[in-house]
Amino acid sequence: MSPAHSAEDTTAAAEDGFDHLIHAPARLRICAALEPVREIEFGTLLSVLGLSKSALSKHISMLADAGYVAQRRAVRDTRQRTWLHLTESGRSAYQGHVAALRRIVGDA
Amino acid sequence: METEGSISAAEASAALAATRSSRARVAWAGYPAWYWLLTGAGLGVLSVALLLPKGWALAAVAVTAGVLVGLAWAASRARGVCEYWTRSAMRWREVVALYGPVAVVLLANAFVARYASWSPFAAAALVFLLFAGTGLLLSARAARR
């Protein structure tokens, strides 16, 4: 995803809260898993969501390009692990998106 | 894949259900069984601590609280999920389902223990069963989602 594209998505998100980047099923589930916690290890997120490693990496990098997700690398038990967390803008975009979904359900 | 155009209420509802499912899995899945068993035992120790003289009871409660915090930290490392100290992925009603019955038993024991010497031991066993049972059950249910 190009930075210009992610900027468009973020701008669109600001209009009514509905965020097309987040709305894709896998990315919505990623954000829902990251929102209530401080950070999650990549491997844990894999098992929680049941996605393939490559699919999760692809979606994480799209969210990271949009500035919604940040990564931190740390060594534990001699293995390098990646911890993921929602940024402030990611959290607010996700919460706005969920509010927009609730409005759609409520309006029906 | 990006989504285009407007979405229906049914699609929005399904999306909201997916977010709830993800949150529930993060809240409950991945806990090692030892966390539920040891924390249940630790909470049970709190009810037996009433039998000790006041100073020793306070020391036992402080040590047990420290052990419980250590267990929570170790479980967090084992799960690969780092939660906030002040809030977690669990909903309030889930927190109440997990800790509510335990709190009721501990409070009831604080009164009954004055009249029945067996009460702290019965309360310890009940607290262990309630906490470990609820934790293991909800954890297994979240893993199946």
Produce one character per residue of A42-69: b if its CB has 16 or more CB atoms within 10 Å, e if not.
bebbbebbebeeeebeebbebbbbbbbb
Per-residue confidence in pLDDT tens, chain B, 145 aa: 444 457 888 999 999 999 999 999 999 988 999 999 999 999 999 989 878 888 999 999 999 999 999 999 999 988 999 887 777 788 899 999 999 999 999 999 988 988 888 899 999 999 999 999 999 999 998 877 7
Contact at CB, A28 and B18, closer than 8 angstroms: yes
Query: Closest Cα of chain A to B55: distance in Å?
Result: 37
Task: Select from B80, B84, B88 the Cβ nearest to the Cβ of A41.
Answer: B80
The shortest C-alpha distance from A22 to chain B (Å) reads 9
Which of B15, B77, B82 has the CB atom closest to A38's CB atom? B82
Q: In 3D, which of A41, A34, A42 has the Cα closest to residue A86?
A: A34
pTM, two decimals, is: 0.81
Within a 13 Å sphere around the CA of A95, how many CA atoms are in the beta-carbon half?
Answer: 9
Q: Is A102 on the interface with B (CB under 8 A)?
A: yes
Domains annotated for chain A, with CATH where assigned, are: 15-105 (1.10.10.10)
